[in-house]
Amino acid sequence: MLSAQTGVLEQVDGSCKLQCGQTTVECSVTGPIEPKARQELPAQLALEVIVRPCRGVPTTREKLLEDQIRGVVTPVLARYLYPRQLAQVCFQILESGEPEENFSVKELSACINAAFLAIVDAGIGLQFSFASVVLSVSTDGEEIRTDPAQLDLIESKSTHILALQLGEGTQKVENVLLFESHGDFTEDTVLRVLQFGEKSCVETAQELRKVVQRKVQQDFVWR
Amino acid sequence: MAKDIEISTSESKFLIETLRQGLRQDLRKFEEIREVGIEFGKDYGDVTVTMGKTKVHCRISCSIAQPYEDRPFEGLFYISTETSPMAGAQFENGNNTGEDEVLCSRIIEKAVRRSGALDVEGLCIVAGSKCWAVRADVHFLDCDGGFIDVSCIAVMCGLLHFRKPDVTVAGEHITVHSMDEREPVPLGVLHIPICVTFSFFNPEDAEENIKGESNKEICIIDATLKEELLRDGTLTVTLNKNREVVQVSKAGGLPMDALTLMDCCHKAFNITETLTDQITAKLKQDFEARNQYAAMLSSENTRVS
Amino acid sequence: MSEPVELRPVTFHPEVLARIAPDLYMQRHLSLGLRPSLRAFEEFRNVEISDGRLSCASEDSINVVGNNILGSNVLKCGKTMVITSITGGIVEDVVPAKSVDNDFSEPSERTNRVSQFGRVYPVVEVERGRVGAPTDEEMTLSQRLYNCILHSGLIPKRALDVSVGIRSTNSEGESSVVYPDEEDSSNAVDTPFRSKRKWSYTLYAKIQVFSRDGPLFELCWNSLLYALASTKLPRAFVDERTTDLKIPISMRGRSAVIRETFEIICDPTKYLPLSLDAANKAFASNFGVLEIDPEAQLPKDDDDMQEDVPGSVLLADVQGESEEASVSSTISVVTNADGNIKHFRAVGGTSKITIEMIQQSIKLAKLRALDLKAKC
């Protein structure tokens, strides 16, 4: 389901190309670098998030994605380590894998996962691991699907995105970083999705961990 | 720019000195381009082109729109080339007013759109009211010089690879058939323009360049990022396989011998020929892979009626 | 021996403390069981609403001339004021040729939920005393409102269809407008014209926020909802003579006939209310989660010592600079009183969001939805 390579770009500090189902994104991280005066934070690392769509020019849709990604990445970065510095996190959607005018969950989830790998590749300090999954609930409200295909997404009654902060070797759920739902659902669905999503988030995190493991093996081949 | 790239004096001196001795840092000859890699995605019109370390992604898409009032028989065609910090920290997001960025997008615009590489009349659906609007979005992923040349290849590969959905026209009403329903149709591409960029270096002083007889200027093809930073002048010529010059652009910089231009065009033509052949071969290979079951699934009769 | 140093406690005026140490200011209030706004933890602010009499469709409109506002709302919450005005346009839909030529419908069209719903294009402006490019907050707010309206299914697509009337002029020069749903069977207005082309309304919402004081999504959403509920769409018609206008054109040896785009005229007197899906009408509430810092608490009396201080608290309706700055985790719920949730968003910062908090926030949001619905 999920495949990724790190270090795919030359000019940036960390990069990653991640494919999840029909969605492909490329992520680059540059930093810590010198920020512009208006971005500078006196005691912390400033974050610039840029999302570029696969087709057309960036719109408010991408602005919202940037805002959501920033919300997920900010609390897990060890920002106190780099005061008055800037990290640029840039995403390019290569394949959207969903009807772009109505949905953005699959792109968001892929971006969050790609950000994790690219930040690790760039060597910027992280306090926790994190991972994200998309979930959709079928029309009858019974079946919950993780990483739904394009058709499942269109037919679904509600769509949910979950990003979790994970600790202890990505085994333990520390906190909810983002949990956003749209559509037609009840409190019961929220709790069921949360429970179901927790499991698949941990699984996704394990996949990401394998990518990091492979990367470390290759990077330290000289040892 | 967030962070301009700077090159140290010793490195720049070294680079110029090696050029003077007829060497390039990546061991290429002066008239040699880097290896071009073309990779098509799953969707039609999704292509990634690499040239050495430079990497560009191009995505072609289409939608139905209303044609311009003064051109009712023509469809619309846009090329967007926007840079982002992904290609390097020297690029600022959403700010494409830098000299290089403007020059790059203008040359691609001239080479592809204004040269009529895409048959816009073929995009007309219902005269005056409906037509296809084709968009080429060029995404710069990795910058190591030669953006113009790579982008041009990427846009042309994308256009050649792209298939638009089939439409049925009944009076004023049209039906767009999905890709599963009917075989999508290719765009009308009239010729394949290829850009070749020359970089000029003047190892002597300015006086020698203008008055002198020695013609010591160095001319190289397909500069890398470092060579681009140090060059004194640049020339981009765009040719197609029919030996036609599509566009020549020399925006100031080092004055050069007029006859060099002819020489450059000759050199560029050889490159154009090989690149065009490479593009066609790659496209053929991709479509064969896509249609490997076509012969098996065909319902045509082998009998001759 | 150096002189003994005397340490005096530093004191600040509450407003100064709120500015320089919002988190400490907040914690000190929490230890008293209060919030800086003097509200209880789970208490919402009161909301005042009115339609502002801005709409040209309302009888007592205050600006009649040159007004194209179809629905409006003025929402006051604390010192924040949100003004929403709905405007609209008419666009032609693309009718597939197939449905005109032959009657059989698409073979087993799979259910596409979102395609059945109408959209609203909101623009949020947070007034800050200067003009300029929209800020990131304004852009994300607008896009969130757009997404939520679309996915909530508040507006069925049918509600936006224009049933176009025809204005015909008789021999005496008197013109009359006939609408398809008003027309009786004896009237012989040509129907084929209508079946060939289809129009629908497009709604735009301009949301202006004055005196921003805390998160805005919920205020904007509620205001937009009230405004949409008050929206009335004008009836539209075309002139009989323009229904079949064709213009021949030729260019570079090619010629064709272009059918003129119809000029649709909106009736200034007749309006139909926009029919919203009542089951999907939901109201928004926001919550903040804050961890209690044991070190920042006020010293307590001895008899209070046994009282167990909870690790973190849920605050309803985040307000003010110090609350917004110190609350790191937020929950936002869009629901109706029956528990039919339309949108849920939890953003976790440094404070942990527990299942109990999610449950509690949904419970409170439902109660609040009941309250807000009564004001509609």
CATH of the domain at A188: 3.30.230.70
Residue A25 has pLDDT above 90, yes or no: yes
Residue C103 has pLDDT above 50, yes or no: no
The least confident of A70-79, B229-238, C89-98, C177-186 is: C177-186
Return the H-helix or E-strand segment holding B136.
Answer: strand B130-142
| CA B122, B123, B124, B125 torsion-angle sign | positive
Tokens of C3: 């002189």
User: What is the reported pLDDT for B259?
Assistant: 86
How much is the average pLDDT of B25-37?
Answer: 92
Residue A218 has pLDDT above 70, yes or no: yes
Average pLDDT, chain B: 88
> What b-and-e string marks burial along C166-203, b requiring 16 or more CB atoms within 10 Å of the CB?
bbeeeeeeeeebebeeeeeeeeeeeeeebeebebbbeb
Sort residue B107 into left (φ over 0), alpha (ψ -120 to 50) or beta.
alpha
Q: Which CATH number is B258's domain given? A: 3.30.230.70
Does residue B118 belong to any structural domain of this protein?
yes
Return the H-helix or E-strand segment holding C225.
Answer: helix C217-229
Q: Which residues of B touch C94 (CB under 8 A)?
A: 64, 174
Does residue B184 belong to any structural domain of this protein?
yes
What's the gap in Å between the CA of A193 and the closest CA on chain B?
31
Q: How many domains does chain B have?
A: 1
Angle at A104 between CA A100 and CA A109, to 5 degrees: 135
Asked whether the beta carbons of residue B73 and residue C251 sit closer than 8 angstroms, the reply is yes
User: What is the reported pLDDT for B108?
Assistant: 92
User: What is the reported pLDDT for C195?
Assistant: 53
How much is the average pLDDT of B10-18?
Answer: 91
User: What is the reported pLDDT for C91?
Assistant: 86
Q: Residue C108's pLDDT band (boundaries 50, 70, 90)?
A: very low
Greatest mean pLDDT among A166-175, B65-74, B212-221, C281-290 lies in C281-290
How much is the average pLDDT of B254-267?
Answer: 88
> What b-and-e string marks burial along B162-201, b requiring 16 or more CB atoms within 10 Å of the CB?
bbbbebeeeeebbbbbeeeeeeeeebeeebbbbbbbbbbb
Is the CB of B116 inside 8 Å of chain C's CB atoms? no
DSSP C159: G
Amino acid of residue C293: D
Tell me the residue range of the domain where B95 lies: 24-290
B137 or C112: which leads in pLDDT:
B137
pTM for this prediction? 0.91
User: What is the reported pLDDT for C106?
Assistant: 45
Per-residue pLDDT tens over the stretch C259-280: 666 677 887 778 888 999 888 8
User: What is the reported pLDDT for C30?
Assistant: 87
| CA B191, B194, B195, B196 torsion-angle sign | negative
Give dist(CA B276, CA B243) in Å, integer. Answer: 12
User: What is the reported pLDDT for C66?
Assistant: 61
In this structure, are residues A174 and A165 in contact, taking their beta carbons and an 8 Å threshold? yes
Asked whether the beta carbons of residue C359 and residue A185 sit closer than 8 angstroms, the reply is no
Q: What percent of chain C has pLDDT over 70?
A: 81
User: What is the reported pLDDT for B101?
Assistant: 83
Residue A40 has pLDDT above 70, yes or no: yes
Q: Which residues of A touch B55 (CB under 8 A)?
A: 9
DSSP B24: -
**Which B residues in the span 138-197 are in contact with C, Cβ-Cβ below 8 Å?**
168-176
Q: How many domains does chain A have?
A: 1
Amino acid of residue A156: S
DSSP B51: E
Asked whether the beta carbons of residue C139 and residue A174 sit closer than 8 angstroms, the reply is no
Radius of gyration of chain B (CA): 22
Q: Residue C344 is nearest to which of A60, A74, A190, comparing CB atoms?
A: A190
User: What is the reported pLDDT for A67?
Assistant: 95
Q: Residue B135 is nearest to which of A52, A56, A58, comparing CB atoms?
A: A56
DSSP C78: T
Q: Residue A184 is nearest to which of C153, C348, C359, comparing CB atoms?
A: C153
In this structure, are residues C70 and C234 in contact, taking their beta carbons and an 8 Å threshold? yes
Per-residue pLDDT tens over the stretch C352-366: 888 999 999 999 999
- CA distance readout (Å), A165 to A79, A117, A173, C267: 16, 14, 6, 56
In this structure, are residues A182 and C147 in contact, taking their beta carbons and an 8 Å threshold? yes
Tell me the residue range of the domain where A162 lies: 2-220
Residue C208 has pLDDT above 70, yes or no: yes
User: What is the reported pLDDT for B169?
Assistant: 86
What's the gap in Å between the CA of A198 and the closest CA on chain C?
12
User: What is the reported pLDDT for B199?
Assistant: 92
User: What is the reported pLDDT for C204?
Assistant: 95
What's the gap in Å between the CA of A162 and the closest CA on chain B?
26
What's the gap in Å between the CA of C64 and the closest CA on chain A?
33
CA closest to A9 among chain B residues: B142
Amino acid of residue B96: N
User: What is the reported pLDDT for B2?
Assistant: 39
Max CA-CA distance within chain A? 56
Q: Residue A55 is nearest to which of B61, B84, B94, comparing CB atoms?
A: B61
User: What is the reported pLDDT for C105?
Assistant: 41
Asked whether the beta carbons of residue B137 and residue A30 sit closer than 8 angstroms, the reply is no
Q: What is the four-CA torsion angle of A198, A202, A208, A210, rounded to 10 degrees? A: -170
Average pLDDT, chain A: 92
C225 or B171: which leads in pLDDT:
C225
DSSP B189: B
Q: Residue C114 is nearest to which of A64, A102, A180, comparing CB atoms?
A: A102
Domains identified in chain C and CATH numbers:
14-43+283-299+308-375 (no CATH), 47-95+115-163+195-237+269-276 (3.30.230.70)
Q: Which residues of C touch B71 (CB under 8 A)?
A: 251
The least confident of B27-31, B62-66, C189-193 is: C189-193
A161 or B93: which leads in pLDDT:
A161
Q: Residue C341 is nearest to which of A61, A67, A186, comparing CB atoms?
A: A186
Give dist(CA B124, CA B65) in Å, integer. Answer: 10
Asked whether the beta carbons of residue B175 and residue C259 sit closer than 8 angstroms, the reply is no
In this structure, are residues C327 and C286 in contact, taking their beta carbons and an 8 Å threshold? no
Residue C102 has pLDDT above 60, yes or no: no
Residue A116 has pLDDT above 50, yes or no: yes
Is the CB of A20 inside 8 Å of chain B's CB atoms? no
Name, in order, each residue with C-beta under 8 angstroms of B133's C-beta and a sequence gap of 6 or more.
B62, B63, B64, B65, B75, B76, B77, B78, B123
How much is the average pLDDT of B15-35?
Answer: 91
In a 13 Å sphere around the CA of C26, the CA atoms on its Cβ side amount to: 26
In this structure, are residues B218 and B204 in contact, taking their beta carbons and an 8 Å threshold? no
Site from B86, B95, B147, B179 to mutate, A interface, most A CB atoms within 10 angstroms? B86
User: What is the reported pLDDT for C10?
Assistant: 84
User: What is the reported pLDDT for C101?
Assistant: 44
Chain C residues whose C-beta sits inside 8 Å of any chain A C-beta: 110-115, 136, 139-140, 142-144, 146-148, 150-153, 280, 328-329, 339-350, 352-353, 355, 358-359, 362
Which residue from A25, B268, B211, A160 is spatially nearest to A15, judged by alpha carbons? A25
Q: Residue B90's pLDDT band (boundaries 50, 70, 90)?
A: confident
User: What is the reported pLDDT for A5?
Assistant: 93
Name, in order, each residue with C-beta under 8 angstroms of C48's C-beta and a sequence gap of 6 or more.
C75, C76, C77
Does residue B304 belong to any structural domain of this protein?
no
Tokens of B5: 């790239």
Return the H-helix or E-strand segment holding C100.
Answer: helix C97-101
Q: Residue A1's pLDDT band (boundaries 50, 70, 90)?
A: confident
The least confident of B153-162, C10-19, C40-49 is: C10-19
Site from A5, A10, A49 to mutate, B interface, most B CB atoms within 10 angstroms? A10
Does residue B10 belong to any structural domain of this protein?
no
Residue B15 has pLDDT above 50, yes or no: yes
User: What is the reported pLDDT for B130?
Assistant: 87
User: What is the reported pLDDT for B174?
Assistant: 82
How much is the average pLDDT of A88-114?
Answer: 93
Q: Estimate to the nearest angstrom the gap between the alpha carbon of B257 and the chain centroid.
A: 27
How much is the average pLDDT of C15-44?
Answer: 88
Q: Which residues of C touch A177 (CB under 8 A)?
A: 347-348
User: What is the reported pLDDT for C144?
Assistant: 95
Is the bond preceding residue A32 a cis peptide, omega within 30 degrees? yes
A106 or C236: which leads in pLDDT:
A106
Per-residue pLDDT tens over the stretch C45-85: 999 998 777 777 666 666 656 678 888 999 999 899 999 99
**Which A residues in the span 92-121 are in contact with B, Cβ-Cβ below 8 Å?**
92, 94-95
Residue B1 has pLDDT above 70, yes or no: no
Question: How do strand A144-146 and strand A129-137 relate by DSSP bridges?
Answer: antiparallel
User: What is the reported pLDDT for C175?
Assistant: 73
Residue A10 has pLDDT above 70, yes or no: yes
Q: Residue C340 is nearest to which of A104, A175, A184, comparing CB atoms?
A: A184
Per-residue pLDDT tens over the stretch C284-321: 999 999 888 877 777 665 555 445 556 788 999 999 88
Residue B70 has pLDDT above 60, yes or no: yes
Asked whether the beta carbons of residue B137 and residue A9 sit closer than 8 angstroms, the reply is no
User: What is the reported pLDDT for C167?
Assistant: 79
User: What is the reported pLDDT for B301?
Assistant: 64
User: What is the reported pLDDT for A115?
Assistant: 97
- Residue A202 has a CB neighbour count (10 Å cut-off) of 17
* Tokens 């394990």 belong to residue: A206
Asked whether the beta carbons of residue C362 and residue A187 sit closer than 8 angstroms, the reply is yes
How much is the average pLDDT of C358-375?
Answer: 92
Q: What single string gives the DSSP state of each residue in chain A?
A: -EEEEE---SSSSEEEEEEETTEEEEEEEEEEEPPPTTT--SSSEEEEEEEE-SSS---HHHHHHHHHHHHHHHHHB-GGGSTTEEEEEEEEEEE--S-TTT--HHHHHHHHHHHHHHHHHHT--BSSEEEEEEEEE-TTS--EEES--HHHHHH-SEEEEEEEEEETTTTEEEEEEEEEEEEEE-HHHHHHHHHHHHHHHHHHHHHHHHHHHHHHHHHTTT-
How much is the average pLDDT of B73-97?
Answer: 86
Tell the burial category of C286 from Cβ atoms under 10 Å away from its Cβ (0-12, 13-18, 19+). buried
Q: Residue C241's pLDDT band (boundaries 50, 70, 90)?
A: low
How much is the average pLDDT of B180-201?
Answer: 92
